[in-house]
A = this chain, B = another copy of it.
């Protein structure tokens, strides 16, 4: 016992069964034994730093990645430095799902702040999923959830105006942080205004102006990346007001 492995502390710290994210992540609904089996195929690396890539567009697909701490953005780079930000990923969220089909990454994933990432080799994962029904089910659900989330984004980009988009973004951040045990009304954004604008299909200037306006209206208090939500209810109302009176866009 005195001779136990030096890595034991490390192991305890990161093992799936001890991970606070297990209810949000793949282990969701699995028996302790099965979680151990999953755990045995997960690779963990040293923390990554701002700007590091998990993978780049075009690379062969080998593994899914799960954010353990920190945050990651995914984006599709296009010629000339332009890009479309596809999403911001918080702890427990899985990255690389879109690569399964083509066996290659169509987007790139870049770390926004110092982050710990779990790597899940996909081939092994599939074998495991075939023998653990609840894991297969979790995976179907996670993929489905992503599709549902994308549908929300389509609605946002297709029907909502700038104000509604930023409000929806704030509500989403608030809810997701809250689920992770953080404050739903006081948080730091790890992405730039530019990245937010890109994600929401808006110009940086518009995002900036909206933050200012929301602040003037007493809805939030913003200081650079630090956001305090003062009136979450009003922001939720704005965010949900897609087809409400006054916004008759494409109303059939």
| Residues in A lying within 8 Å of B, measured CB to CB | 76, 78-84, 86, 97-102, 106-107, 126-127, 129-131, 133, 136-137, 139-148, 150-151, 153-155, 157-159, 194, 197-201, 203, 242-244, 249-252
Q: Is the CB of B159 within 8 A of A201?
A: yes
Q: Is the CB of A80 within 8 A of B151?
A: no
Q: Is the CB of B144 within 8 A of A252?
A: no
Contact of A154 among B86, B99, B144, B197 (CB under 8 A): B86
Q: Top 5 nearest A-B pairs by Cβ distance?
A: A82-B243, A100-B144, A150-B150, A158-B201, A157-B157
Q: Which secondary structure dominates where chain A touches chain B? A: helix
Q: Is the CB of A98 within 8 A of B151?
A: yes
A201 nearest in chain B by CB position? B158
> Closest CB-CB distance, A93 to chain B, in whole Å?
13
CA distance A97 to B147 in the complex (A): 7
Q: Is the CB of B243 within 8 A of A78?
A: yes
Given A82-B243, A101-B141, A143-B143, verify A106-B151 contact (CB < 8 Å).
Answer: yes
Q: Is the CB of B155 within 8 A of A84?
A: yes
CA distance A205 to B129 in the complex (A): 49
> Closest CB-CB distance, A250 to chain B, in whole Å?
5
CA distance A235 to B142 in the complex (A): 36
Q: Is the CB of A99 within 8 A of B252?
A: no
Q: Is the CB of B147 within 8 A of A81?
A: no
> Closest CB-CB distance, A136 to chain B, in whole Å?
6
Q: Is the CB of A157 within 8 A of B80?
A: no
Q: Is the CB of A84 within 8 A of B148?
A: no
Could you give 7 example pairs across A and B, Cβ below 8 Å? A76-B151, A78-B242, A84-B154, A147-B150, A157-B158, A157-B201, A197-B250
